Every structure is written in C-alpha cells, then in structure tokens.
C-alpha cells in the first residue's frame, strides 16, 4: 500500500471532520441507542400531558421504521429473533402515543412476538419497573433496597456509596418510587392483553431467590442498628434519596445528563406530590428534549450527548494528521475542551477525598461526573498548546493528577470512581448487576490510561503506577490472549486498549502476553482483511464473530498489530486495504453498535467512530512504517 493512497484517505476523512465541526468547536455526532429512549420519551410526554405532537409523531415514525418483519425490535443486527423487553417498550410507546392502534398490522405482529416469548412476565427488570410506575404491573411486595438503605453509614459492610454513580443515579429515584409503590394515574393504554396469565401481574421472580433474600436480610440488620423510630427512618431515607437526586441536577435540567435517571426523577417527584408543571419537572423534560438529534430523517432522543468525547478524540486525531496549532479548527476545539474541565467536586471524592477536581465528563452539560477516559482523551488534545499558554499547563497538571489519583488499589483504573467493587454486590442475582452496581478496574480503562501516561507524560511518568497497571492487565488476560472491553464491543476493543497501553508503558512487543494477543487477532481476521465482533460477546463472555467486518473493529485490531510490529505484516496490509477500500461504506455494519452501557440492554452506535478510528489507524501505519 503506497503512502499516496493512504494520504488521500487521510485527507478525505480530515476534510469530512472539519466540515462537521460546530461553531462552538465541538462535534455533536449522535450517541445512538436504539429506540428505548424514544419510546420512554413518548410515555413521559403523554403521562405529563405535554402534547408535543410534532416530536411525538417524529419519534413514532422512527420506532416504526426500525421494527423487524417478525414484529420485534432488536438491540443489534444479529440478535436472534429480537429483544422481548425492547419490543414491549417500543410497543408501549407506540400505543401510548395514540398514533398506533392496537389492531394495526405492525402492532398485531408485535403483540404476537411478545406473547410468543412469555408476555410481560418475562420482561427484564427495567421494563417491569417502567410498567409498574405507569400502572401496568404491580410493584413487588418488597423492594430489596428500602429507603432506609440511604441512611446506612460508611462503616456498614455495604452502603449507598458502594454502588456506582450510574447505579446511584437510577436507584435513588427508584427507591422513592418503589417505597411509595407509585403508579401514575392517567388514561393511557392498557397492556392487559399482553399477560399470558393474570397471576403474572405481581410476579417478580427477580426478588424471590435465596441470594436476594440474604442480601435484603443483611440490609435489614443494618437498618435495625440505626437509631430512630422506624416510620421516621423511612421518611428520612426518602428525603435523603430525594435530596441526592435534586443535588445532581445539571445546568440542562437533567440528572447527571442521563436519560434514564432523569426519567425516573420526574416520576419520583410526581410520587412525592410535585405538580407536573413544577419548574424542576419542566426543566428536566426540556433537558431531555435538548438531547434530540436527527438520524436518517427521524428524530432520536439520545441517552446523553457525546460532544466532549467526540471532540477530544477528533481534536487529537486532527493534530496527529498535521493540522497546525494555529488552525481555527484546532483552536476552537481545544477552547471548547478547556471550558469543559471540571472545577467542582462530585461523587468521585467519596472514595478519593485527597484529590482535587480536574477531570472531564462525557457530555456537554456534565459538570460533576467526570470519567477517566474522557479526561485522558481531553488532555491529549491540549498537548500542542501547553508550551504556548500557562493556563493550558495548569489544566494539564490538574487533569493528570486527577487521573493518577483514580488508580485502584489493584493497579487498574475504573471509569468513574475508585474502589467500587464491593464483593457483597457480586452476590446479587440481578441481571446486569456488574454493569449497574459496580465500577471495577477494566482492561479498556486501564489500557487507555497506560497509553496516555506512557506516551504523553514523559516528564512525570509514574513508573511504579505504570508497572502496577501492566501487572493488572497481565493478570486479567483471557486464556485465548484477548482482554474483555467493558465500554466497547468487546474483546477486540479490550485487546486493543490493553496492548497499546502496555507497550506505551514500556513492555516489549515481544512479551508473551502481547504476542498471545497478536496471534489471537490474526486468528480471527476475516477473509476480506477486516475484523468484526458481535454484541453477543458481552453476554456470552467470550468472543463471538460478527461474520462481517466493520471499519471500527478493523481499526482497533490494526492499531494493535501495528504497535506490536516492526514491519507491515500480511495481516496489517490486508487490513489497511480493507480500510481504504471500504472507507465510504454506509451499511448495517457502519451503524452496528461499537459501544455498550449494559449488556443485553443498552448498546451504543457512536457516529464519530467510523471517521476517527480509521484516521488514527492510518496515521499509526504511516508513523510506524514510513514510506512503503
């Protein structure tokens, strides 16, 4: 592959990225998450009697456009048959809208799929919670996290702050709702026709296991040790859950910029007697509406925005591609990122009280919920300006110190908070508990942090911390040579992050751990030269091929091989050919999710990835191998 052909593709991508930049310097490529948020938004608007018909009709059109021929909705292209819970959510949203009737062909197909797969009783936990708060399903006789749980002290074996920030954001309002057994009184549709047996209405098998009862009993023991009248303790717990929720409302009116937590917050406030036209509720709904974007001609409500993440990745890539420091494109993007650094303390300080603020969050209006990945990515983008601006140096130092402070005692890095891997929470028999409740060290966060510290912090490189990170990765490598990626799909993503991180931190490309990973990637390369991985990997906890190549997976695999090679191998050449040949493709593999928030529930199509990761890979090829 000649450098001329590669350079042409680099310039094509660069021009596209520059064209898509917003006037404020950021990139607002969509953070697409299927139809779940679209359906929930319809239900929220109708429940509040906010009859924004134009928005509701647009959301209905998008949901209908993504229905499968068998009546189901899928979380991802190769999901077998479809997702029961997502189909219930989508069907409920369409029915609630008033624009789809129960006897229309597309609705009848959905009904048949739901009944065939067990009806409402077989829905996943979060769908049952939606149904309960809107009067379609009875609340369980007991909820395993009662309001008094909010009052348990740090000295108790488990307390509210042992749960991840994502889990807390959703659980605080849910604790209020479950305690009040709230269901919104409205004249919306009935889903009674989706019960196979009437007895299923109060069936919460999730909370009937021995492990759940053991967990609940331990919580009750802690509650009994609290001083106070039981009824008063319950009231205090609800008040604390309410205050936790309200204290984390961001400038856009949402709770921590998450759709789900904001949705639950609105219903929790309604359950406490807030009128539907209360200023907090109005601001929350307006904040959710501000997350709307347009995809393929349809309006989509994003789960959150990805402006900071997009901008950090793209800004660094453009600089690597030769964009000069004085270009308006780079100056605008870095100025945007500088305004997004956090200067407030957030929940992260609960387990990291000696650190000062200095991180970045994922979304535009995020001011108190930083994460390690966005911080290292944003810091990379400031590098060209550190010698030119003392303020950039201050930003840089604050950011690095925050990142270093976030290392876990085991040597790895988490996403949002240190030391959130309480072994008691591992015992909870809750589907997705590891994604909702925990924030442990992960190979992808650890690898990407090592890459940043190893390649970009030469003057303050913390050798012992790097070695501990390397050791953690080696200890957590899969038997086949791969690593699991928590926030991407899935083993290709984790392997990419781990290998580039270890090499940047000083490990030899010839190290057995690296070579085992290299061989694994070579073994799973597709005949067309690319790589592709199914979202099924993250539920089955083993690599599952997609049987098609994607631009993003190919980029991750190639960057790994390039970092571990001193010359362009046959596998690398074939992969580069794929990127050049398919760079303009726009089919289902382009829209296939490359990220995940929670396995089997929440997957993400980052619209920026098809541009930024091929660009970075082509640049790495040129940098490592020079003129070919």
Catalytic residues: 373
For residues 234 and 148, is the Cβ–Cβ distance under 8 A? yes
186: buried, middle or exposed (CB in 10 Å: 19+, 13-18, 0-12)? middle
Q: How many residues does the chain have?
A: 628
User: Which backbone phi and psi does 41 adopt, to 5 degrees?
Assistant: -65, -40
Contacts of 263 (CB under 8 A, 6+ apart): 40, 44, 288
Structure tokens, 170: 């959703």
Give the C-alpha separation, 353 to 347, whole Å. Answer: 10
Give the C-alpha separation, 331 to 143, whole Å. Answer: 51
For residues 118 and 63, is the Cβ–Cβ distance under 8 A? no
Structure tokens, 203: 């069936």
Of the CA atoms within 13 Å of residue 59, those in its CB half-sphere come to: 33
Q: Which residue has the tokens 């535009």?
A: 364
Contacts of 288 (CB under 8 A, 6+ apart): 41, 44, 254, 259, 262, 263, 301
Do the bridges between strand 292-295 and strand 545-550 make them parallel or antiparallel, or are there none, so unpaired?
unpaired
537: buried, middle or exposed (CB in 10 Å: 19+, 13-18, 0-12)? buried
Contacts of 406 (CB under 8 A, 6+ apart): 348, 352, 355, 372, 413, 414, 417, 418
Contacts of 258 (CB under 8 A, 6+ apart): 166, 169, 170, 303, 304
What sign results for the dihedral spanned by CA atoms 175, 178, 181, 184?
Answer: positive
Backbone torsion region of residue 432, taken as left when φ is above 0, otherwise alpha when ψ lies between -120 and 50, otherwise beta? left
Give the C-alpha separation, 207 to 216, whole Å. Answer: 9
DSSP 583-624: TT--SHHHHS--EEEETTTEEEEETTHHHHHHHHHHHHHHHH
Give the C-alpha separation, 157 to 147, whole Å. Answer: 17
Q: Helix/strand/coil (H, E, C) string of 299-347? A: EEECCCCCHHHHHHHHHHHHHHCCCCCCCHHHHHHHHHHHHCCCCCCCH
Contacts of 610 (CB under 8 A, 6+ apart): 551, 552, 590
- 340-366: burial string, b at 16+ Cβ within 10 Å, e else: bbbeeebbbbbbbeebebbbbbbbbbb
SS3 13: helix
Q: Roughly what angle, to the nearest 10 degrees, separates helices 609-625 and 570-582? A: 140
Give the C-alpha separation, 194 to 45, whole Å. Answer: 23
Q: Which residue has the tokens 């840089």?
A: 396
């Amino acid at each position: 592959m000649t450098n001329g052909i590669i350079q042409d593709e680099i310039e094509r991508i660069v021009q596209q990225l520059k064209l898509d930049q917003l006037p404020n310097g950021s990139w607002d490529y969509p953070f697409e998450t299927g139809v779940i948020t679209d359906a929930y938004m319809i239900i929220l608007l109708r429940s509040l009697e906010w009859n924004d018909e134009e928005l509701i009709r647009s959301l209905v059109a998008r949901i209908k456009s993504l229905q499968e021929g068998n009546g189901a909705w899928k979380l991802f292209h190769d999901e077998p048959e479809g997702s029961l819970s997502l189909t219930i959510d989508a069907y409920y949203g369409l029915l609630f809208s008033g624009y789809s009737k129960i006897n229309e062909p597309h609705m009848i197909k959905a009904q048949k799929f739901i009944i065939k797969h067990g009806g409402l009783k077989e829905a996943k936990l979060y769908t049952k919670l939606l149904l309960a708060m809107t009067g379609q399903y009875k609340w369980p006789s007991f909820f395993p996290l009662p309001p008094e749980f909010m009052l348990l002290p740090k000295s108790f074996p488990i307390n509210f702050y042992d749960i991840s920030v994502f889990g807390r954001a959703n659980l605080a309002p849910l604790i209020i709702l479950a305690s009040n057994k709230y269901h919104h009184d409205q004249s919306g549709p009935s889903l009674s026709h989706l019960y196979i047996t009437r007895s299923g209405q109060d069936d919460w098998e999730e909370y009937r296991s021995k492990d759940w009862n053991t967990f609940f009993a331990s919580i009750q023991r802690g509650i009994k040790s609290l001083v106070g009248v039981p009824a008063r303790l319950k009231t205090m717990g609800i008040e604390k859950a309410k205050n936790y929720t309200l204290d984390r409302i961001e400038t856009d009116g949402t709770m921590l910029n998450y759709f789900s937590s904001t949705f639950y917050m609105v219903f929790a406030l309604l359950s406490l007697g807030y009128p539907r036209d209360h200023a907090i509720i109005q601001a929350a709904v307006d904040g959710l509406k501000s997350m709307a974007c347009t995809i393929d001609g349809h309006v989509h409500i994003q789960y959150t925005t990805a402006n900071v993440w997009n901008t950090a990745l793209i800004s660094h890539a453009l600089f690597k591609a030769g964009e000069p420091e004085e270009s308006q494109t780079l100056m605008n993007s870095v100025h945007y990122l500088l305004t997004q650094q956090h200067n407030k303390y957030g929940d992260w300080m609960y387990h990291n009280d000696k650190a000062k603020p200095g991180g970045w969050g994922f979304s535009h209006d995020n001011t108190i919920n930083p994460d390690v990945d966005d911080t290292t990515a944003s810091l990379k983008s400031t590098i060209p300006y550190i010698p030119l601006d003392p303020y950039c140096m201050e930003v840089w130092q604050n950011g690095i110190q925050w990142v270093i402070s976030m290392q876990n005692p085991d040597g790895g890095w988490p996403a949002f908070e240190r030391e959130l891997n309480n072994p008691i929470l591992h015992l909870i028999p809750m589907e997705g508990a590891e994604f909702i409740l925990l924030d442990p060290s992960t190979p992808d966060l650890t690898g990407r942090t090592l890459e940043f510290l190893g390649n970009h912090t030469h003057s303050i490189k913390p050798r012992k911390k790097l070695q501990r990170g390397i050791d953690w990765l080696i200890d957590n490598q899969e038997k086949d040579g791969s690593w699991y990626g928590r926030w991407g799909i899935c083993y290709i993503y984790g392997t990419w992050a781990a290998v580039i991180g270890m090499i940047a931190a000083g490990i030899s490309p010839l190290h057995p751990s690296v070579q085992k990973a290299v061989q694994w990637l070579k073994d799973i390369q597709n005949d067309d030269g690319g790589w592709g991985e199914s979202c099924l990997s993250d539920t089955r906890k083993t690599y599952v091929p997609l049987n098609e190549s994607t631009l993003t997976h190919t980029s991750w695999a190639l960057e790994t091989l390039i970092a571990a090679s001193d010359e362009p191998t046959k596998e690398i050449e074939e992969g580069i050919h794929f990127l050049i040949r398919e760079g303009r493709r726009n089919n289902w593999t382009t829209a296939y999710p490359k990220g995940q928030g929670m396995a089997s529930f929440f997957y993400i199509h980052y619209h920026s990835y098809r541009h930024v990761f091929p660009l970075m890979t082509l640049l790495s090829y040129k940098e490592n191998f020079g003129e070919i």
